[in-house]
Structure 1
Amino acid sequence: MKQFFRLMAALFLSLVLSLAGLAPPAAARGKAPERIPTILISIDGFRPDYISPALTPNLAAIAAKGVSGTMTPSFPTITFPNHWTLATGLRPDRHGVINGAMSDPAHPGVIFGKSSEQPWWWDGSGGPVHVEPIWVAAERAHIRSGIMFWPGSTTAIDGIRASDWQAYHADLPNHERAEVVLDWMRRPANIRPGLALLYFGDVDVNGHRHGPGSPETTAAIRDVDAAIGYLRRGLAGMHRQVNLVIVSDHGMAHTIPDHVIWLKDYVAKEDYALVSYGGILFINNVPGHEAKLAESLKKMPAFIHCWGKGELPERFHYGRNPRVPDWLCLPDPGARIMDGNPEHPNDGGDHGYDPASPDMRALFLATGPAFRSGTHLPVFDNVSIEPLLRRLIGLAPGKDRDGTVAPVEKALR
């Protein structure tokens, strides 16, 4: 019996050794390839024609050697609606962030502002679709994400935030923002974000205050270009390959001093409820004053175009969301409608205008292993950015989006 067990043990050992010989050693097998991170950068209010080798050597190098193009922003050409479009692939009328200031009939008396974090502002509550930004989709798929100041990123959607995020701090220098992303990229693979978003706001701030082409705006452009150069050098120094996508939310138009009008000169104060003004005017009816307001708006100058809700041109894809106010007045680019006492009513720059205006065009640049070199794309709508990000991080296309990856397909390897 003992001989039988010894024989069986010998046969078992022989079988194990022979099978081991069929498999390559652990060193030869190696590790599974690491995920190549994707970084999306937004430069608020950056016009594509700001790029030049002298002023923006880092962005110009990407434009020359990587992928370049321009985008048509979504209507209205305002920061918060377009950043949420970039993150969701939905137009503002569908994702519900229809303006930088708004109210919701389902929540009377509550006003949306830049620090509003209630999920129902952001998740499409009461609208036709459930809204989910790209970082929430990534987290659901166990892809870690990191967000540096993107509008809406401090709000938990379905209880989910990015694994790494920071509350907005406007005074944090651009290179320190870039350093946060570099710190994320230095982490071990298991806690390194596969998707990172980074926001720069100074170009927009100075564009508003001083106008495109001003020394102050030029300095802001130079600084953000330097921060992007710092980021790229840091990535190269750690031998970290990334797919880098750089966009803006909208452009910026010079204000035309003799095309600044005051709402009080055309409409009696008691006839409207103000929502917001500037490069676009949003106002609501006052009960009992509807007819008077409609007549007053007809007297606006020819460079101001007013529509009631539901009457806007179809190309704007706007006006069906319950948050859209009763009236919208759109000046020609450079004109402004003012109410109150702004600090600089007659100079500087503004946006909010028709997305078809060349001044409103948005930036698109990309570089990295996923992209072809030296590719220039025709103008495309910014609803294609979220589908592109999904492709880059390995997610299936989202359902019921307003855009597809098709307009940027030829830039992909």
Structure 2
Amino acid sequence: NTFYAPDLDMVYRMGDRTMVENPDFYNGEPVWVTAKKSGLVTASMFWVGSEAPVMGIQPDYWSKYDGSVPYTARIDSVINWLSLPAADRPRFITLYFDEPDGISHDFGPASHQTDSVVQYLDGIIGNLRDRIDELHVGRRVNLVVLSDHGMGEIDKGRVVNLWEIIPDRYLENYYGGNPVYQVDAVDLYIDSLMSIVDNTPGIKGWKKDDLPAHYHYGTNPRIPDIVVEADSSWSIVWAPRQGYIMRGKGAHGYDPANSDMHSIFYAVGPSFRKGYISPSFNNVDVYNIICAILRIDPAPNDGDAAIIGHLLK
């Protein structure tokens, strides 16, 4: 959610509206951009990137993110778009719900508080599906329910404060948050910094050129000298004080091979096989799936187009 872009000499922060709306931070091609290039009408009810004119293009219908808008009102917007005349009706719509991310950060993914929110969201999704079914185009709609990550349990007994172990003189800059920090080190101290990380229980790190291939991460020029990541169920912070006490009981951003990080993918509609349980696939594959449903050519991406065949009819 926070990184330095040396090509722009700017720091992206998710909470900074100016940064969120700056298209120069977005290197990839969003699916609504691909769809609009193919002449399709698109819409977005709160989706990362939709507030920026990436490649000079935004969805035909979109809203600035406002977390106070009730989920039912967000569904109303989607149903209204699907009820438009054919020429104005979006062929592709995104709809975002911010929970259960927040509640599971605070109380942990296995907490009763998170369970209650998940049950509420199950009802919200049921309402969305019922209202789609009532539309005259309902049978033609493909509904996909997914998440961008999972969530792992953490606790205050497994925390590494990088401020306590990495001397300031080793650093040029650092960015990030639990469980991943990106570090630009003084050239003279890169190996020394790596030695500290390698010999500290609960964390691991890589020089940029050594990042695991399945991270799809090390080739971007915005990746710094060193990436430091907490081990599963551990936390890392950069807090300038001794005895930092960790708050919160859930985190995400760990190795994607960690099953706690795996997300969900549920889909129903005329394009999908009925009753089919798919083997796991990567979130970067979703772009190709959507493009296949819309019958548009995808832009170059990190996904594997081969998985489309076993999901779709």
Say whether the fold is shared (TM-score over 0.5). yes
1:186 and 1:172 map into 2 onto residues whose CA distance is: 21
Match of 1:150 among 31, 35, 47: 47
Cα distance, 1:167 vs. partner? 0.6
Question: 2:217: which partner in 1?
Answer: 318
Mapped contact 2:156–2:245 kept (Cα < 8 A): no
Question: 1:357: which partner in 2?
Answer: 258
Whether 1:294 and 2:194 are equivalent positions in the alignment is yes
Structure of larger gyration radius: 1
Match of 1:304 among 190, 194, 203: 203
Q: 1:112 to 1:373 in 2, by over 3 A?
A: same
Mapped contact 1:279–1:334 kept (Cα < 8 A): no
Question: 1:401: which partner in 2?
Answer: 301
Cα distance, 1:353 vs. partner? 0.4
2:135 and 2:280 map into 1 onto residues whose CA distance is: 34
Mapped contact 1:254–1:350 kept (Cα < 8 A): yes
Amino acid at match of 1:277: G
Q: 1:238 to 1:298 in 2, by over 3 A?
A: closer
2:11 and 2:98 map into 1 onto residues whose CA distance is: 23
Question: 2:175: which partner in 1?
Answer: 275
Cα distance, 1:400 vs. partner? 2.8
Whether 1:164 and 2:61 are equivalent positions in the alignment is yes
Q: 1:133 to 1:257 in 2, by over 3 A?
A: same
Mapped contact 2:108–2:249 kept (Cα < 8 A): yes
Question: 1:217: which partner in 2?
Answer: 114
Match of 2:284 among 366, 370, 383: 383
Structure possessing the higher relative contact order (Cα contacts under 8 Å, 6 or more residues apart): 1
Mapped contact 1:178–1:228 kept (Cα < 8 A): no
Aligned pair count? 304
Identity %: 31
2:117 and 2:310 map into 1 onto residues whose CA distance is: 32
Whether 1:285 and 2:285 are equivalent positions in the alignment is no
Amino acid at match of 1:220: V
5+ residue gaps, structure 2, are none
Amino acid at match of 1:135: W
After superposition, residues 1-400 of structure 1 pair within 5 angstroms as: 100-108=1-9, 110-114=10-14, 115=17, 116=19, 117-122=21-26, 124=27, 131-239=28-136, 240-241=138-139, 242-272=141-171, 273-286=173-186, 289-301=189-201, 303-340=202-239, 345-396=246-297, 398-400=298-300
1:290 and 1:406 map into 2 onto residues whose CA distance is: 40
SS at match of 2:143: strand
1:199 and 1:238 map into 2 onto residues whose CA distance is: 21
Cα distance, 1:289 vs. partner? 4.4
| Runs of 4+ off more than 3 Å | 286-292, 341-344
Q: 1:410 to 1:293 in 2, by over 3 A?
A: closer
Question: Which deviations, in whole Å up to 9, do the C-alpha atoms of 1:173-232 show, x marking residues without a partner?
Answer: 212111110111111111111100111112111111111122321222122222211111
Cα distance, 1:311 vs. partner? 1.3
1:236 and 1:344 map into 2 onto residues whose CA distance is: 49
Q: 1:405 to 1:297 in 2, by over 3 A?
A: closer
Cα distance, 1:320 vs. partner? 1.7
SS at match of 1:190: coil
TM-score in terms of structure 2 length: 0.90
Question: Which deviations, in whole Å up to 9, do the C-alpha atoms of 1:28-81 show, x marking residues without a partner?
Answer: xxxxxxxxxxxxxxxxxxxxxxxxxxxxxxxxxxxxxxxxxxxxxxxxxxxxxx
Question: Which deviations, in whole Å up to 9, do the C-alpha atoms of 1:105-127 show, x marking residues without a partner?
Answer: 1222x1112232222111x2xxx
Q: 1:284 to 1:135 in 2, by over 3 A?
A: same
Amino acid at match of 2:47: W
Q: 1:341 to 1:153 in 2, by over 3 A?
A: farther
Mapped contact 1:260–1:346 kept (Cα < 8 A): no
